[in-house]
């Protein structure tokens, strides 16, 4: 009976932890959207001021955008990492359910098919709202870097094409790194579970 009580407590704590990770991802979204709006607004404002006045504030805009891009990369990596934490805890909860529901206790059939598969959810899924949020942050990071490139190139003829290339390339790199990291994390979790190591 003590083992059952332990599993009950563990299930409740893990459910709270899963909600924490999900909530943290959405808090990151709210914070980053505000930060991006402020950073872009200030940088573009300084740049436009420099275009109309003789005092050049473009270097300040460039520094703001560079710092914003680094900050955005940190937020992006934090969101991707929290997705991994979320999935590990969600799979553990599913394993708990599977244990207790496999023999139809008290005639309970789980007709709504509440999750009991410990191999789900996937670490990376295009349909996940958390993945979509990560991609939105990656897009915003790419906007910051592309704006930085646009301002940095000044009056160059190829400024627009270089900006578009930088935007697409940086977005691609971030998404590929997120996919790679989540796939690597899945392999790491599976290896740990087979070896029994935490």
Shortest CA distance to 30 belongs to which of 124, 133, 126, 129?
133
Answer whether 0.85 is exceeded by the pTM.
no
Shortest CA distance to 137 belongs to which of 26, 59, 51?
26
Count other C-beta atoms under 10 Å from residue 32's C-beta.
Answer: 22
pLDDT tens, 1-19?
677 788 888 888 888 888 8
170 confidence band (pLDDT: 50, 70, 90): very high
Rounded Cα–Cα distance for residues 123 and 111 (Å)? 26
Shortest CA distance to 189 belongs to which of 75, 59, 90, 50?
90
pLDDT tens, 39-50?
888 988 888 887
Q: Where are the domains of the chain?
A: 2-195
Shortest CA distance to 34 belongs to which of 134, 130, 137?
137
SS3 104: coil
Q: Are 145 and 154 in contact (CB under 8 A)?
A: no
pLDDT tens, 94-151?
998 888 888 877 788 878 888 888 889 988 888 888 999 999 999 999 999 999 988 8
């Amino acid at each position: 009976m003590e083992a059952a009580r332990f599993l009950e407590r563990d299930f409740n704590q893990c459910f709270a932890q899963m909600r924490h990770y999900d909530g943290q991802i959405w808090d990151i979204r709210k914070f980053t959207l505000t930060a991006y709006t402020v950073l872009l607004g200030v940088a573009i404002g300084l740049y436009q001021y420099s275009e109309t006045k003789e005092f050049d504030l473009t270097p300040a805009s460039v520094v703001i955008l560079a710092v914003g891009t680094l900050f955005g990369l940190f937020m992006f990596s934090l969101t991707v990492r929290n997705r991994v934490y979320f999935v590990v805890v969600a799979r553990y909860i599913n394993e708990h359910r599977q244990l207790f529901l496999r023999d139809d206790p008290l005639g309970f059939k789980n007709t709504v098919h509440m999750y009991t598969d410990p191999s789900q959810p996937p670490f990376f899924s295009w349909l996940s709202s958390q993945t979509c949020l990560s991609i939105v942050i990656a897009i915003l990071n790419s906007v910051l870097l592309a704006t930085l490139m646009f301002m940095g190139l000044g009056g160059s003829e190829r400024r627009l094409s270089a900006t578009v290339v930088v935007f697409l390339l940086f977005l691609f790199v971030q998404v590929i790194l997120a996919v790679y990291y989540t796939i690597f994390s899945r392999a790491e979790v599976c290896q740990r579970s087979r070896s029994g190591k935490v």
